[in-house]
């Protein structure tokens, strides 16, 4: 990965997760109604993960501010993206999941690859492409 692409990558990731988190925190009833998804039995089951996305969004902005210095945080971002995409794909394969969740799993899969390439590039052991 080209080092010049790393900062923009994490800015995009920060915007993506931060905005998704805020949207789901404030508008989850409307989103669930629109997509005809059964809501959780308590809003906290949606609001808590939504706020976690906002926190991860802030972490991605922190990484973007100085990718080399904050390289150690990138595996946490990879883990976040793996948890979501892994669960979404697992339920898509083994049972069912509302389709609205699947495209985001694909986006997260792309982020996993990009984050890993950024992490390797910043290690100093990988050549910048």
| Cβ atoms of 10 and 64 closer than 8 Å | yes
What local confidence, expressed as pLDDT, does residue 127 receive? 54
Which CA distances in Å does 35 have to 26, 38, 39, 50, 90? 16, 9, 11, 18, 21
What local confidence, expressed as pLDDT, does residue 116 receive? 98
What local confidence, expressed as pLDDT, does residue 14 receive? 98
| Cβ atoms of 85 and 109 closer than 8 Å | yes
Q: Encoding tokens for residue 96?
A: 């069912």
* Buried-exposed string 44-66: b where 16+ CB fall within 10 A, e elsewhere: eebbeebeebbebbebbbebbee
What local confidence, expressed as pLDDT, does residue 24 receive? 96
Q: How crowded is the C-beta side of 84, counted as CA atoms within 13 Å?
A: 23
Q: Tokens 């706020």, residue?
A: 51
What local confidence, expressed as pLDDT, does residue 128 receive? 47
Question: Can you give the pLDDT of all 129 residues of the chain as single tens digits?
Answer: 999 999 999 999 999 999 999 999 999 999 999 999 998 999 999 999 999 999 999 999 999 999 999 999 999 999 999 999 999 999 999 999 999 999 999 999 999 999 999 999 999 765 544
Closest CA to 61 of 24, 120, 17, 3: 17
What local confidence, expressed as pLDDT, does residue 124 receive? 76
Element (H, E) at 94: helix 74-94
């Amino acid at each position: 990965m080209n080092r010049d692409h790393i900062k923009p990558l994490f800015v995009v990731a920060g915007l993506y997760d931060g905005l998704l988190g805020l949207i789901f925190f404030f508008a989850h009833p409307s989103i669930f109604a629109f997509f005809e998804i059964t809501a959780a039995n308590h809003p906290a089951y949606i609001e808590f993960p939504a706020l976690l996305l906002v926190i991860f969004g802030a972490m991605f902005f922190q990484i973007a501010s100085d990718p080399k210095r904050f390289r150690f945080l990138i595996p946490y971002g990879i883990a976040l993206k793996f948890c979501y995409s892994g669960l979404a794909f697992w339920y898509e394969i083994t049972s069912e999941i509302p389709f609205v969740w699947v495209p985001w799993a694909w986006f997260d899969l792309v982020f996993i690859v990009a984050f890993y390439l950024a992490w390797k590039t910043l290690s100093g052991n990988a050549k910048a492409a």
